[in-house]
Amino acid sequence: MTSDFEAQLRAVSLRVTRPRLAVLAALHDHPHVDTETVIELVRVDHPTVSHQAVYDVLKALTDAGLVRRIQPAGANARYESRVGDNHHHVVCRSCGAIADVDCAVGHSPCLTASNDDGYVVDEAEVVFWGTCPDCSAESTANDPPVGRK
Ligand SMILES: [Zn+2]
Ligand SMILES: [Zn+2]
């Protein structure tokens, strides 16, 4: 796995460093986490890596296209290493959990905008909002029984 990450870094002409490998590994195992969580995950194996180093790595990886930054309205920026497939996200309004949503298999219908005003569209970012299974189970459990208040 580490050699995969090394190859990814080399493919975009980034130097292979331990913090960069650690961030890629963290995002591979934990997609859609915010910066604070990336720092925690990296520090499990590399306790001496600074906050600033993780910020810098995230920025370099995002600029190089190895990491995608998503920021649902009202939430912290999240990062993931699944890039280049134009997938979308569903976000829980209640707890902020995020899951991936694929475009229809084999093509990306969302890229066909109803009116593109002459722009050449190469990416569509759709955020679906709702309630995750955990939160909807919880709210059902907390609902007062019908007829009693
Ligand atoms: Zn939730
Ligand atoms: Zn995703």
The residue extents of the domains of the chain are 2-70, 85-142
Question: Which pLDDT belongs to residue 63?
Answer: 96
Residue 88 CA to chain centroid, in angstroms? 10
Ligand 1 center to residue 48 CA distance, Å?
33
**110 labeled part of a ligand binding site:** no
Ligand 1 center to residue 116 CA distance, Å?
34
| Model confidence, pTM | 0.80
Ligand 1 center to residue 145 CA distance, Å?
22
> pLDDT, tens digit, for every residue of 70-112?
998 888 899 999 998 878 899 999 999 999 988 755 566 666 7
Q: Which residues are found with C-beta within 5 Å of the ion, ligand 1?
A: 92, 94-95, 97, 132, 135
Tell me how crowded residue 54 is: count the other CB atoms within 10 A of its CB. 23
CB under 8 Å to 148, separation ≥6 — which residues? none
**Which positions of the chain have pLDDT values less than 70?**
1, 104-111, 113-114, 142-149
Distance CA 122, CA 119 (A): 9
Backbone angles phi, psi at 117, to 5 degrees: 55, 30
From the options 3.40.50.12780, 2.60.40.10, 3.30.1360.120, 3.30.1490.190, give the CATH code of 85-142.
Answer: 3.30.1490.190
Is 104 in a helix, a strand, or coil? coil
2-70, which class in CATH? mainly alpha
Greatest Cα-to-Cα distance within the chain, rounded to the nearest angstrom: 65
Distance CA 77, CA 72 (A): 7
Of all residues in the chain, the percent with pLDDT exceeding 90 is 63
CB under 8 Å to 20, separation ≥6 — which residues? 5, 9, 14, 57, 60, 61
Distance CA 102, CA 7 (A): 26
